[in-house]
Structure 1
Amino acid sequence: MTKSHTHVSSDPLQQIRWLTYMMFFMFAMTSDAVGMIIPELISDFGLSMTQASAFHYAPMAMIAISGLFLGFLADSLGRKKTIMLGLLIFSASCFLFAISSSFIFFVFLLCCIGLAIGLFKTGALALLGDISNSNEEHTKTMNKVEGFFGIGAIVGPALVGVLLVQNVSWTYLYIIAGIMCLILALLAWRAD
């Protein structure tokens, strides 16, 4: 027990970096898959392209609003609590996709996901600034964040493609993301 405790506390900064990489991976996985989901929405709900595009614009608008107007929470609540709040809202919203079949409710859930992403992004980016010892180290970390975001942007649409080929609902993408998010929330809670 002592050995594993020493390992966890010996490099909490690396653990924080990996948590951040995985958060951005998950964020990209869900947001970049929307392009694959929109044709399914048009077919399932008889929507126009303009109506279905709310699936993309609603969460992006909430990410912007959250980042602009709730960024102060990273300072007032603290980095960890802000990240945890974002992860828990994200996870709960993802799981609610399983029990709904309403387009309006799906858009509402995506607004909640956008709000959550804005929260954990501002908390995580502030934290990365805090733990970087130099500009060079901060740049390397941010480049890795972008790399994981890019990988997530590939994995999300590919996963939706696989689900659709297997005649499985695209909503399972959000169930998978919800499970990942719960794991990240647990790891964030345990991190120093």
Structure 2
Amino acid sequence: MTTLQPANAGPGRLSVQTLLNAHPFSGFQWVIFALCFLIVLIDGFDTAAIGFIAPSLISEWGIDKSHLGPVLSAALFGIAFGALSAGPLADRLGRKSVLTVAVILMGAASIVSAMASSLTELSIWRFITGLGLGAAMPNAVTLMNEYCPDSKRSFITNAMFCGFPVGSAFGGFFAAWMIPHFGWRSLLILGGVVPLVLAALMLVALPESVRFMVARRYPAERIRQALARITGQAVQATDFVLEEGAAAAGAASGPRGLRLVFSGRFIVGTLMLWTAYFMGLVIVYGLVNWMPVLFKEAGIDSSQAAIIAALFQLGGFGAIFFGLLMDRGNANIIIACGYFLTCLAVMLIGQVLGSGVAALVAAVFVAGLLMNTSQSSMQALAAEYYPTAGRASGVAWMLGIGRFGGIAGSFLVAELARRHLELSSVFLIVGIPGLIAALALLVKNKVAGPSHGARPGGH
């Protein structure tokens, strides 16, 4: 029978990660997975929705496409600030409470934004919606990661994050159906009602992170109740430990939150994670927000352009495959290869724009497969890199700083459109950040060392 105690444990002492490693993924853990998947799906839906309503805003409010930059980027600013503040809060107050408040905020603000009557008003409420989205995403990733066995950590985290491209694709498909029938405001209302329903489910079914509770020395009874829903073997334990190796960053005397993230041991990896994620989101938001407009400009019907652009997000399912590879190999190198291939694939979209719809569909799907697979894998890479005491801060700040890449991507394509560059040149320029992201991960691998998901003892 597998022992669930660390070698130096006394009677009744239980290693949390040893328990998670020793048992199959339980129904309780699948509930956590489902709720976190839906949170990430809502983020993806909202991200895509604003891009798909852009053509309607141009028609209804009589504005030029170059004026869309602020409204397309407002949520990104909110997401960035939401993530930067929510990570440290979650390392102090807990994952569940911050996560639940964030989901309620994003739902309420999205509904109010549907009532906007000007670009300024819409931009303000999109910023507030973004605050909720930014706080929710990193904490969903962190909470899920902290209930995973070491051997499947990257696979499960990446599978959960596939909710983002699924939500983005839904945004496109719902936009193609709802906007012609009910107007663009209906899409924002839908994006607000669903989070409020989800928040009610979270209050009842979502637990606090068991690793966080151990690190913050919660009462043993509360920790035991959570672990007992995974296996009855936890019932006999009277004390719980984390076993985070020599780093011991989760120890009471060690640095926590941002102090850990910026400490000498982690700073180079932190900066390289920021660079890679930033550059990836330059591509993601530049394309998601602008492809419907660019394709329409190329002579493609609006509904067809929305559907083709939505295909870009379906490729995120490749993150499941990357998760399997990351649990067995060097995640830095695996994701770097994905970013390099993304660079080439995005450039290819511009080359096939005049070659027919079939070629464009294929190019968009391949680019989306590579881009979203690489970008969706970054959350698992960051969560594996940091120990419990700084995991929420590390993941959240990577996501928060990265969102400024999304802002840059939106304004980059807006500027390229203003300069009336050929569409092939636009996609050529937008592909270059993929190369920079790949180089950043190679630097992380060189300086901070290889990253392996199935590391003994885990983080």
TM-score category of the 2 structures, normalised to the smaller one: 0.7 to 0.9
Shift of 1:68: 2.5
The correspondence of residues 45-84 of structure 1 with structure 2, limited to 5 A, is 45-84=61-100
Structure number with higher relative contact order (C-alpha < 8 Å, ≥ 6 residues apart)? 1
Q: Secondary structure at the match of 2:193?
A: helix
| Residue among 60, 85, 90 paired with 2:101 | 85
Work out the CA distance in 2 between the residues paired with 1:182 and 1:120: 13
Share of identical aligned residues, percent? 25
| Residue among 89, 94, 109 paired with 2:125 | 109
**1:150 matched to which residue of 2?**
165
1:186 is aligned to 2:192? no
Shift of 1:50: 2.7
Q: Secondary structure at the match of 1:95?
A: helix
Contact 1:38/1:53, CA 8 A, preserved across alignment:
no
| Residue among 106, 111, 115 paired with 1:99 | 115
Work out the CA distance in 2 between the residues paired with 1:98 and 1:59: 14
Work out the CA distance in 1 between the residues paired with 2:48 and 2:76: 11
**1:3 matched to which residue of 2?**
none
1:34 is aligned to 2:47? no
Work out the CA distance in 2 between the residues paired with 1:25 and 1:122: 13
Shift of 1:12: 2.7
**1:5 matched to which residue of 2?**
none
Q: Secondary structure at the match of 2:162?
A: helix
Shift of 1:61: 2.2
**Residues 12-36 of structure 1 deviation map (CA, whole Å, 9 limit, x = unaligned):** 3211110111111111112112222
**1:174 matched to which residue of 2?**
188
**Residues 153-185 of structure 1 deviation map (CA, whole Å, 9 limit, x = unaligned):** 11101111112222x111111211222111210
Contact 1:83/1:119, CA 8 A, preserved across alignment:
yes
**2:154 matched to which residue of 1?**
139
Q: Secondary structure at the match of 1:104?
A: helix
Work out the CA distance in 2 between the residues paired with 1:178 and 1:141: 27
Work out the CA distance in 2 between the residues paired with 1:105 and 1:156: 22
Query: How has the CA–CA distance of structure 1 residues 78 and 152 changed in structure 2, closer, same or farther, with 3 Å as cutoff?
Result: same
Contact 2:74/2:123, CA 8 A, preserved across alignment:
yes
One-letter amino acid of the counterpart of residue 129, structure 1: N
| Residue among 120, 128, 136 paired with 2:144 | 128
Work out the CA distance in 1 between the residues paired with 2:97 and 2:134: 14
Structure ranking higher in helix proportion: 1
Q: Secondary structure at the match of 2:149?
A: coil
1:43 is aligned to 2:38? no
TM-score (norm: length of structure 1): 0.86
Query: How has the CA–CA distance of structure 1 residues 64 and 97 changed in structure 2, closer, same or farther, with 3 Å as cutoff?
Result: closer
Work out the CA distance in 2 between the residues paired with 1:187 and 1:164: 29
Contact 2:99/2:135, CA 8 A, preserved across alignment:
yes
Work out the CA distance in 1 between the residues paired with 2:49 and 2:110: 14
Aligned CA RMSD, in angstroms, stands at: 1.7
**2:177 matched to which residue of 1?**
162
Q: Secondary structure at the match of 1:47?
A: coil
Q: Secondary structure at the match of 1:96?
A: helix
Work out the CA distance in 1 between the residues paired with 2:161 and 2:142: 16
Contact 1:74/1:122, CA 8 A, preserved across alignment:
no
Contact 2:103/2:196, CA 8 A, preserved across alignment:
yes
**1:6 matched to which residue of 2?**
none
Greater Rg by CA: 2
Which moves more between the two structures, 143-152 or 22-31?
A: 143-152
**2:33 matched to which residue of 1?**
17
Residue segments in structure 1 that go unaligned for 5+ positions in a row: 1-9
Work out the CA distance in 2 between the residues paired with 1:53 and 1:106: 12
One-letter amino acid of the counterpart of residue 108, structure 1: I
Q: Secondary structure at the match of 1:99?
A: coil
Shift of 1:122: 2.0
Q: How many residues align?
A: 181
Residue segments in structure 2 that go unaligned for 5+ positions in a row: 1-25, 208-459
